[in-house]
Structure 1
Amino acid sequence: MIHKHAFEALDRSLKDVLKGVNRDSSRHPFGGKLLFLGVILLMRQILPVIQNGSRSDIVNASLCSSHLWSNCKVLRLTKNMRLTVGCNPSDFEESSRFANWLLEVGEGTLGGDNDGNSVIEIPDDLLIGDSSDPISELIDFVYPTLLDNFNDISYFQERDILAPLNEVVQDINDIFLTFFPGEEVEYLSSDSIDNSDTVGPGFDQALHSPDFLNGLKLSGMPNHKLVLKVGVLVMLQRNID
């Protein structure tokens, strides 16, 4: 996402700095110093953000549109080294197929020729089949033999379910909790309104009733009701940003 002007400024700065060491440095890009840039960022670059910019403005701000690009040599990685670490041959073959499918999606070659829009067919092994309870089926797939391994920390470190919304996370947690034996215990947050925060006589308490406040599910804020069971793993997360 770096603007091409940043690379061009670095090019001029290195030429000026190295001029005292080598007079010919101004004739070479980056003063003759070798600069290594991430290949993935170059070939699948996230475009710079240009405020109120058109499509041409955004593309023109990328590194590929700079005069320095003609001096760049593209080196391609042909083997995915991450897939080979600690994998048996069967797992490696399955991971390779999935990795290649992701690359085809990223390159826009999946689904035939397209101009930004295309219909992509999701492989069957990535889909939940016809089921009356898809969330339970997803939990069974991600966490097999759950009750036999719920005391093993490494068991939970190797798998996870991602969800787009907090409401979906809550639904998954509610179903997840029913798998464990024992009695549920509910913990509720404070649901009273601090009158010191009211603003003048026009404050309508009905708009900020406890029922309304308790129903809010906000990012970075715990829900009003927390349900726990003895022995159930609790995961605490924090946004580092």
Structure 2
Amino acid sequence: MSRVPQMRFLLDKACLVLWDEAPMVRCHCFEALDRIFRDILAVYDSSRSLFPLRGKVVVVSGDFKQVLPVMQEGAKTGIIGASLVMSPLWRHIKALRDVCKD
């Protein structure tokens, strides 16, 4: 069995994706994940193609107040523009705050 059908099968069966330290990556990485899900899973269920990340639940974690994307020699505006909250996918995210208070 080649890798692509195996990946399709695993992604189709996955019900939850966990992404830790999400604020550290550029928004393009999150958008690339969306594109991968759309491309690979298109074979299984075309009705879910309109949903971001093909309707999969993705839990992103990290401190959005402290950490911004890592960029070499990035200016402040470029770093902020590359943050996850600037992605068009951000409007589909439901933010849960203070879930684990000490």
Structure 1 residue 20: Cα displacement: 1.0
- Structure 1 stretches lacking a partner, 5+ long: 84-241
- 1 CA distance for matches of 2:98 and 2:75? 33
**Percentage of identical aligned residues:** 38
The amino acid of 2:96's aligned partner reads L
Map 1:194-213 → 2, pairs under 5 A: none
Matched, 1:49 2:70: yes
- 1 CA distance for matches of 2:90 and 2:43? 26
Map 1:157-236 → 2, pairs under 5 A: none
Tell me what 1:75 maps to: 96
TM-score (normalizing by structure 2): 0.68
Flag the structure with more relative contact order, 1 or 2, with Cα contacts below 8 A and sequence separation at least 6. 2
Matched, 1:17 2:33: no
- 1 CA distance for matches of 2:63 and 2:85? 8
Matched, 1:64 2:64: no
Tell me what 2:29 maps to: 6
Distance 1:33 1:49, change over 3 A: same
The amino acid of 1:3's aligned partner reads R
Distance 1:42 1:64, change over 3 A: farther
Q: Say which of 32, 50, 55 aligns to 1:32.
A: 55
TM-score (normalizing by structure 1): 0.31
Q: Which has the higher strand share?
A: 2
- 2 CA distance for matches of 1:43 and 1:32? 24
- 2 CA distance for matches of 1:7 and 1:16? 14
Contact preservation (8 Å) 1:16, 1:26: no
In the alignment of these two chains, the number of paired residues is: 79
What is the CA deviation profile of residues 195-239 of structure 1, one whole-angstrom value per residue up to 9, with x for unaligned ones? xxxxxxxxxxxxxxxxxxxxxxxxxxxxxxxxxxxxxxxxxxxxx
Structure 1 residue 17: Cα displacement: 1.4
Contact preservation (8 Å) 1:11, 1:30: yes
In our comparison, the structure showing a higher alpha carbon Rg is: 1
- Structure 2 stretches lacking a partner, 5+ long: 1-23
